[in-house]
Structure formats: C-alpha cells, structure tokens
Structure 1
C-alpha cells in the first residue's frame, strides 16, 4: 500500500480552493479590507492596568451625524469620494453610546451633560457640578448639594490638571471641572442676582481663580477674558470687561501664582516653553475663541491641536500624572447658527487635537476618551450619489435631486434653526450653498437651532477603555475613569 503525503503547499491550495468555492467574493477589495480590520481588532487586546493620565475630549454638540459628515468632508478635501475616509478619532478601539438626557429634560443642555461626565451623577439642565436636589437659579439649594468633580479628586491625589476650550473657560462644559453653581449663566458677578450674592454664592470666574484642589490648574487655555476683568477696564484687544465688583481676576491669578505666566495672544503662546514653564493661563478672546475657519485665516490664535500639544508637554512633567479636559466648544455654536461648514471645520480641528494626543501618549498608561455632551438636529438626507460634495446640492447620476415641488436641496439640513423661511422654499444654487457663511435650510424657523436628544458616541483607548460597551448613561464615563485611576478612593 502506497502512503500519500500531502505537502503544506498542497494543503494550502486545497483550503484556498474550498474557500473560493464557499466564499466566491473573497478576492473583493471590501471583503479583504474587512478581513484586515478583523485581524487588527484581534491583535488589539483590552488594556487592564491602571491609568496614570486621563484626557477627556468633549466635542460640544458633535452628533454621530456630525462625525459622519466631517469624515466625508475631510476625505473630499483630500481628493477622495469621502465616504471611505477615516478620522483620527475613529481609530480608537472601544466604542459605546451615551444617553444624554438630563434629569428634567429629554433634550439636554451642556451644563447638565458635562456635569454627568465629570461627577458621575446626572442632574438638571443649566446647573454646574451640583446634584439633582438643586433648583436652577436658586443659590440656597446648591449649598450641601455640590458634586465633587474628577478634577478636584485628581488634584487632591497630586495629579496635574489641564483645561482647554475654544469657548469661554467659564462656559458650561469647562466650568463643570472646577465650579459648583446653581446656574450656568453666573459666569461673572454681574450675572448673579443680589439674593444669590447675599446667600454666599460666587460667580464661575471667581471660582476658577479660587480653585484650590491640589495645585490647581497647571494649564488653562481658552476664551472669556471679559468674565475676569472689570466693566470699566479694557483688555489688550480693546474689549471691555463684564465684572461689576471692580475685581481684576487675571491680576488675582497672577498674585496667587507668581511663578505662572498669563498670555492673551498667539505670540505669547508661542513663547511658552513647556520644559521650563510651571503654569500658564491663556485667555485668547474676550468671549469665545474664533471658529477654526476664521482662526486659520487670521492666524492670531493657537489651534486646538497647538494647545493640546503644549498642554501635554507641560502636564507630562508631573510624576503623578495628569487629568485634562479638551473641549471643541464651537462645533455647538456653528450648529446653533445653522452653519454646517463651520461646524465641520471645527470638528476636523478637534480631530487634529485628538491625533496629537494619540501620538504623544502611551496607551498603556493614558486613558483617552472622545465623546460629545449632546447632539444637534443636523441630518444627512436625500439619496445623493457617492462622492457628492457633502456641503453641496444633492445629486444622483449627475442630475440634481429635486423635491416634489421641483426645488433643489442640500444633503445636509437641520430640523430647526435660522435657515427656515416663511412661505415657499428657495430654489438653491450650488455656488450659494458652498459658501462658508451659508446657513442650511431647516424645517422649523428658530433664531437659534436647538440641541437634539439623540445618543452620542464614546470612543476610547487605554487602560479600562474596554469597559465602554453598549449604550450607557452619560454619567458612566466618570465611573470608567475612576475605575482606571481610583480617584474616588
């Protein structure tokens, strides 16, 4: 009897032939791309150790639809059809959905949602790092109902603290890191009612300067100079302050931290040496910082990526690690204006900052979380063909799509906002809708477009990032951070 030996090459050929018969599409590029993605995922096991550092990225108003549109927008800027593009944030391996409602609102606001992320409890809309027992606008209800933030906990554990926002540093999301307030609008003393002052409540800007957890914030970059200076004074750019108490809180910060550097423009930012500067406070605008499209044109402010890079370099010097929030605050503002072009530009600037953080940190010791506080009513619709300009008119097979009235329309629209009109809808032209200032058409006329109540994405990398699974309550984010750091112990 003759014994037959099957060589490895023959066996491989037989297996390939069998696979070809069972899966005839195996040579298709999409099939092969998916197989490669599967192999990469299998080679990326969860990281179960503890995190020395935490960076919480918050894209204010960055809905899942905003991510999709930004992905296509960036790809088309690079000469692709766009849909196949991948943003930096989309490389993070662990993904979940966050339910964003406030305890009293189906459609949430930034104060309540950001509070959930940094304190671990859900609360009402419009309040800053206080629990659900507080009534908005009533100072007396805040006393004893403050919710301790992960930044306070981190400071007490000796970690360095960082805060970056393209909005005012006293605005809702960044304010939750250091302030406790019954009303998000109490950004300076002139906004507090007399009864709140008499009951001992202080404004948010004052709370920033007085923040005393650990060593306070080693890095703080953003807008909002007007909240820190008196109404009868003028900042270096000729803008008046808002304070009525006569206090100059920038000077108060400088007196408290004589080793720190205060800066207000890009030249001052560029002069900061991360290797030697122990503390920096940057306020680059009277109110919010510029939209990315306008900042890029003027070149008079640092980008979100620039600020993130410098902050990481400074904070990394702390042997005990750091905790930082990075907020792209103006995605939200562009959506409120019904201006998708600027919202997408700011989303890409946010993604650039995320890519900097991914490149500068070690996934073994740094937990990076990318999320949003809430969504917006922007939608993509209308059966546009692949590669159709995401900000352009909807087309299919080279022809403009039309509604039942024979009118053209864009792929991106809003459920409500300033783009709605009374009466007949305008027939749109391509040049018109591709302008940076164009406000997309909307269904319901409102002076400012609203948030939506949709879930938002959570994407994460690093220690305990694998705990982001399924659809979770937004306050769960805090608990994953604590699991990775033991800050609350």
Structure 2
C-alpha cells in the first residue's frame, strides 16, 4: 500500500517533469551534454587557490542516491557538471579496503600507507610510536607545501578536528585513535597526541583556518551538555592542558590576530578583517547531522557556513590558499546504516560545493570533489522511475517479502532483520518486511545481508570531479595518491614550484656545460 501511495503522489504532484519519456526529451538531454563537451577548454593557468572537498564514505552509489534525492534520476549535482573527472583506486598499502586515515594520507601526502595510520609511510606499523618519529617516514602534506609557498591553508570538517581525515593533513601518528593523551598507552610517551600536533607543531599551528568539532580532545575537563554530550568513541583530554588557550597565546605572541568561535552567533559576527587565524570548535565530539542541528545563535554551523567564513579569511592572502573540506557525517551515517542521513549529509556537502564554486573563479581556483572510500550501499531491484529512493523497490521474487531500493551488504545488529520461522515444513529464515516500518525516517536502519558490529567500508573506486586550472589532469583511472601530485603540479607546489623548476633547469644546464667542456677536451 505504501508503494502504491508513493507512486500515485509521485505521478500527480512531484514527478511529472522527471517522468518524460518522449524522444525529444532524450534528444535534448544528450544534445545539451554534447554542447557542454564541445565548449570545454583546457585551463593551463597556475592554480592560485585549491579547494579539496572530501565526502567521507561518498562512493558512487551515494552520489547517485543523492542525485535522485535532490532532483530525480535525470538531475545533475553541481559537481557532476564540472568538466573533468576520473576514478581513484582506494586500496591501502596493506589492505584491499582502506580506512579514512590511510586514504586521507594518500590524498594529502602522496603515498599509500597502512590502515589506521596517518601522515607516515608504510614502514610504520600500527601502534609503532618509535617508527613514526623517524623523519624519513614522515611525508609532507599539501597544507605544508602551501604554507611553505607563502599561501594560506585551512581545514574544515563536520567531525572532530582531530579525527582521521583532517588529522592526516597535519599529524604523523601510528594510530588514528591517539587523538589526545588519554588514549595513548604506556610506552608511547615520546609521541605527541594528535591534538597537540595540531596546536603545537607545523603545519597544524600555522593553519589559518581550523573548524569542526572535538573540544573534548583539546581542553581538559570540557563541559558536556544535554545537546552536546561527550563522544566516548573519541578521546577526553585529562592532562591539564587547554590547547585552545595555547592556540590563542601562540598567535598573539607571534603578532597575529586570532579569533576563536564556538557557535553560530560568533561565527556569523566574525570580524574577517581583524582575523589572521580562525579556530572554530563547535562541539565536544562530531558536529550534529545537518537535519538535526540547532540553527539558532547557540547552535552549530552548517558545512556551508564554515566554508563561507573560511574562504573570506583565506582569500586575504594575495598568494592564494589551500583549503580541505570534509563532509564526515556521510561516513558516520553509513556506518550505522542510516542511508537517509548519509544521503542528506551528501546533499549538504553539495550545497557547500555550490557555494564555493560561486565564491571563486574557475580561472584561478582548482575546485575538486572526491571521496576517501566507498561504503557497502547498494541501489537494488527495479523500482519505478520517479519513486522515492528511500522507499520499497518491490517484492522479492523468491519469498514475496518487500525490500527497499537501498540496502547494505554489511551492517550492525539493527540491520540484520532476520528471524526463524517454524511451520509444518520445518524451520526457515525470514527477513522482516520493511514496509512494516517507516523507511522515510532519518533513523531507519536499512537492511543488510551480513551482520557485523557496524557497516564496513567498501573497497570500490571513487569518483573525482574537478574544475579550474589543470582540472584536466583528472581524466581516467588513477591511483588515489596521484591527487597529491596533480594538485602540487597545478598549484606549482613542492617539487613543481617555480624555484624547484629553476633549480632543475640550472642543474640540467650545468650538466650540459660540463658535457660540452669534456667533449672539447
């Protein structure tokens, strides 16, 4: 009955435009795409600015579901209109399926490393503090390259600022969970926790923008509240340090103007002209899902709110900037098999991409959207075109029980909705009919086939979309760590900087001169 009702409402109210099937409609879609393709011109400018969006866990099926959620099967997301794209292989140095720490290290530092480690190479095994201290095992991140080139740099996340993806930009750690000292075991005293690396070490302490959650890992005895509880998956600092105070003191002592904001009101009233460094920490743990956050003065900002403020601060630097933005709650929702929450978070990140695209110029700003890994989300069966992507697909041809368009191959206990039925034919296993539940709710756990503690990551390729200078460098199937090299080349950073090119040319010239001299002799 729910499926029939959905189809009726869709046909009458919301889906008339999307359900065109005449020949002219298909011709118009294809000709529009052809005209776009014919107008694409390669941009060989140097990327003054780079903005890298990471949809954590946003695999191709998540992107497809987001597209349908936003506007139907024929809709196109903002970044799907970017002129260049490719695919990235996401495997880790030691695993076929990665986590966010190792995959972010690949993206940001140009090397594959071991699962659950960050900012170190594959010689460092998980938990090996001593090995992680070796200078030769510590690659240089894109933020480091940007800062060394005189650019500004920043990170934004909907996660704790010490969480795996953002931390891979500034920290070197043999364990992603060492976000503060309370999670570090005996024998690791010589290694700094991730929060201290952010505030005390380069490049973390020189990031002009840091925004996300994670106050409990930065400040000892942080205060929990009903609407902002502690995140016990994370780390609660206990060593007496107040790293937010350290942050302010460091910037002031160096002659800079720091701004620290903790809610919507403070971010909205930010004095950009009198802000050299911006630290925004809006929650003890991760930021709330976008659909449930408090949008009032004391609430948490959206990912778009943070992106807007960041660009305003960073663009004051005439030499440009590098900004990483993570939509981390996509991954958090997928882990709990909350498909609707994950897709809604993906849509929220798309809005932030749209904002960034409108605030920047494609002539000098390389704008990239990608993911660190996939999840096990599937789009199933043969649902009618134009139906709600969170609804029932159809009844199973095997047992007649309905199933949803979206499901997971792995999931937590809530998703494994099977039970044993005894009848005259013996025992059989049945799956709960999802039409008995409201699958439109944000907290509905979509069914999974294999029961785990939670939904696992997937090992499939992820898409990468690009607009701006040298966006055409993303053009086929790439290794994930290639992104680091492509960005470095586009922005002339590190080995591809003007200074490096001049030195290489002089070195080559000296070789030629010596060769000529030898030849004459």
Q: Same fold (TM over 0.5)?
A: yes
1:262·1:280 contact (CA, 8 Å) conserved in 2? Answer: yes
Aligned counterparts of 2:305 and 2:138: Cα–Cα separation in 1 = 33
Q: Residues 134-145 of structure 1 correspond to what in structure 2 (within 5 A)?
A: 134-144=124-134, 145=137
Q: Does 1:448 align with 2:454?
A: yes
Aligned counterparts of 1:449 and 1:296: Cα–Cα separation in 2 = 28
Q: Deviations over 1:365-406 (max 9, x none)?
A: 111110000000000011111011100111xxxxx4334111
Mean Cα displacement is larger for which, 56-65 or 463-472? 463-472
Q: Does 1:381 align with 2:416?
A: no
Aligned counterparts of 2:22 and 2:386: Cα–Cα separation in 1 = 26
Task: Give the deviation of 1:194 after TM superposition.
Answer: 2.0
From 430, 433, 451, give the equivalent of 1:427.
433
Q: Does 1:176 align with 2:168?
A: yes
**Distance of aligned partners of 1:370 and 1:471 in 2 relative to their CA distance in 1, 3 Å threshold:** same
2:295·2:301 contact (CA, 8 Å) conserved in 1? Answer: no
Aligned counterparts of 1:284 and 1:297: Cα–Cα separation in 2 = 12
Aligned counterparts of 2:198 and 2:295: Cα–Cα separation in 1 = 31
**Distance of aligned partners of 1:178 and 1:168 in 2 relative to their CA distance in 1, 3 Å threshold:** same
- Residue 470 of structure 1 aligns with which residue? 476
Task: Give the deviation of 1:298 after TM superposition.
Answer: 6.8
**Distance of aligned partners of 1:256 and 1:407 in 2 relative to their CA distance in 1, 3 Å threshold:** same
Task: Give the deviation of 1:69 after TM superposition.
Answer: 0.3
- Residue 217 of structure 1 aligns with which residue? 207
Q: Please state whether the residue corresponding to 2:494 is helix, strand or coil.
A: coil
1:364·1:462 contact (CA, 8 Å) conserved in 2? Answer: yes
Q: Does 1:40 align with 2:36?
A: yes
From 437, 440, 443, give the equivalent of 1:437.
443
Aligned counterparts of 2:351 and 2:198: Cα–Cα separation in 1 = 27
Q: Residues 42-441 of structure 1 correspond to what in structure 2 (within 5 A)?
A: 42-75=38-71, 82-144=72-134, 145-197=137-189, 200-213=190-203, 216-230=206-220, 232-234=221-223, 242-258=236-252, 259-295=257-293, 300-394=299-393, 400-418=394-412, 419-423=415-419, 424-429=430-435, 432-441=438-447
**Distance of aligned partners of 1:26 and 1:343 in 2 relative to their CA distance in 1, 3 Å threshold:** closer
Mean Cα displacement is larger for which, 466-475 or 30-39? 30-39
1:154·1:322 contact (CA, 8 Å) conserved in 2? Answer: yes
Aligned counterparts of 1:276 and 1:111: Cα–Cα separation in 2 = 34
Q: Please state whether the residue corresponding to 2:66 is helix, strand or coil.
A: helix
2:418·2:432 contact (CA, 8 Å) conserved in 1? Answer: no
Task: Give the deviation of 1:275 after TM superposition.
Answer: 3.3
Aligned counterparts of 2:467 and 2:163: Cα–Cα separation in 1 = 27
Aligned counterparts of 1:297 and 1:383: Cα–Cα separation in 2 = 38
Q: Please state whether the residue corresponding to 1:195 is helix, strand or coil.
A: coil
Task: Give the deviation of 1:276 after TM superposition.
Answer: 3.2
**RMSD across aligned C-alpha pairs, in angstroms?**
1.9
- Residue 513 of structure 2 aligns with which residue? none
Aligned counterparts of 1:27 and 1:334: Cα–Cα separation in 2 = 39
Task: Give the deviation of 1:183 after TM superposition.
Answer: 0.8
Q: Deviations over 1:132-165 (max 9, x none)?
A: 1111101111122111111111111111111100
Q: How many residues align?
A: 451
Normalised by the size of structure 1, how large is the TM-score?
A: 0.89
Task: Give the deviation of 1:26 after TM superposition.
Answer: 12
Aligned counterparts of 1:295 and 1:435: Cα–Cα separation in 2 = 16
- Residue 487 of structure 1 aligns with which residue? 493
1:382·1:401 contact (CA, 8 Å) conserved in 2? Answer: no
Task: Give the deviation of 1:343 after TM superposition.
Answer: 0.2
**Distance of aligned partners of 1:214 and 1:61 in 2 relative to their CA distance in 1, 3 Å threshold:** closer
Aligned counterparts of 1:110 and 1:281: Cα–Cα separation in 2 = 23
1:63·1:375 contact (CA, 8 Å) conserved in 2? Answer: yes
Aligned counterparts of 2:385 and 2:228: Cα–Cα separation in 1 = 48
Q: Deviations over 1:279-304 (max 9, x none)?
A: 21011010000011112677711110
Aligned counterparts of 1:318 and 1:215: Cα–Cα separation in 2 = 17
